[in-house]
Amino acid sequence: MSVSNQEVTLSGTVASRNERRLAEEVAEQVSGAKYVQNNLRVKVPISHSGVSGTPGSFGSGSSTTSM
């Protein structure tokens, strides 16, 4: 966080959108702050969310059929 000419600038990373909003709300309450520039970025965890199945199974082309 930096302050210059009654402007608070937030920078860095946070874990969630909620943390980003909360930081901005707190900065707005700083005595003398007239403007808040929120440059915080939400750090997205590396994952394959939304993908089901086992790794490597998508598009493998193999299948089993019993008769």
Strands across the sheet with 2-4, in order?
A: 2-4, 7-14, 35-42
Instruction: Write down the pLDDT at residue 22.
Output: 97
Contact 34, 7 (CB under 8 A): yes
Contact 24, 54 (CB under 8 A): no
What tens-digit pLDDT sequence spans the chain (67 residues)?
888 888 999 999 999 999 999 999 999 998 888 999 999 999 987 776 665 555 554 454 444 444 4
- pTM of structure: 0.61
